[in-house]
Amino acid sequence: MSQYKVGTVTVSGEYQVVLGAGTNWLSEVEIGNVFQKRGANVLYPIAAIDSNTQLRLQSNYAGSGEIGMLYTISRDFTPNLNLPEVNAGDIDWPFHVTTALRMIDSALASVSSDLIAKTVSTGIAAAELLGNTVITNTGAVAAINLTLPAGADNSAVEFEVTVAQYLKITANGTDKFRYYGEEGAAGGYVRSNEVGTRWKITWSGANWSIHDLVGVLSYDE
């Protein structure tokens, strides 16, 4: 992260305005950069840059008033998640790394929640085999029997048994399942009722390849 930390600042508690001494903010800082008291773990995005020696924060400064305070303004962030970047010589870099990790953790938790939320009861649509869908039997009170569409390039899907009812996956027409070199029957099935069992299938061009199996899975020979 490129940090600007030239000069000192004067801040007043519960005010957004920050006054600089020996600063050159108009050419060195942009709206959206992050202001921070040196050594403090509170970040303030910058809302406006009024002059080389005055800027305004998006929120009121929460600390007590200080004159001649050391500060940093962080200026570099990743393009997608807006994570703070860290460069050699940056001050308070462990705090910024922790901030980035927490942002990544939150983003991944949201993605995982979106992926493991698909429960179906009859068949699987072809469109569901083109993403990162995880199909479960959450809430099932009886066996769920799912039929795959015909195998096609780039098709893949993941399954997980979340309740102790059979989750049965049947191949379409003459399609077959294959696992560790063993090929099942045309139109055969794989199934499990062991909670925690998880597996993926990918269309290999000739059959559905079973991989990344965790748990117990049986199939029609």
Residues 85 and 16 in one domain: yes
End position of a domain, from candidates 89, 112, 135: 112
| Residue listed under structure tokens 């998640």 | 81
Residues 16 and 102 in one domain: yes
Rounded CA Rg of the chain = 28
The reply to whether 187 and 147 lie within a common domain is: yes
Q: Select from 63, 88, 112 the last residue of a domain.
A: 112
CATH number reported for the structural domain that contains residue 167 in this entry: 2.60.120
Q: Where does a domain end: 77, 112, 147?
A: 112
For residue 49, the model assigns a pLDDT of 97
Q: How far is CA 14 from the centre of its chain?
A: 34
DSSP state of 62: -
Report pTM: 0.46
Cα angle for residues 82, 87, 92 (degrees, 5° grid):
85
Q: For residue 14, what is the domain's CATH number?
A: 2.40.30
Report the alpha-carbon angle 61-62-68, nearest 5. 60
Cα 34 to Cα 55: distance, rounded to the nearest angstrom:
11
Verify that 105 and 22 share a domain, yes or no.
yes
Query: Domain count of the chain?
Result: 2
- Residue 149, amino acid: P
* 105, 126: one domain: no
- Determine the pLDDT at residue 105: 74
- Asked whether the beta carbons of 4 and 29 are under 8 A apart, the reply is yes
What pLDDT sits at residue 113?
A: 42
- Domain of 23 in residue numbering reads as 3-112
Per-10-residue mean pLDDT of the chain, 221 residues long, equals 87 93 95 88 89 95 91 80 76 80 71 45 65 80 87 86 92 88 88 92 90 87 57
For residue 128, what pLDDT is reported?
67
Q: Cβ(60)–Cβ(16) under 8 Å?
A: yes
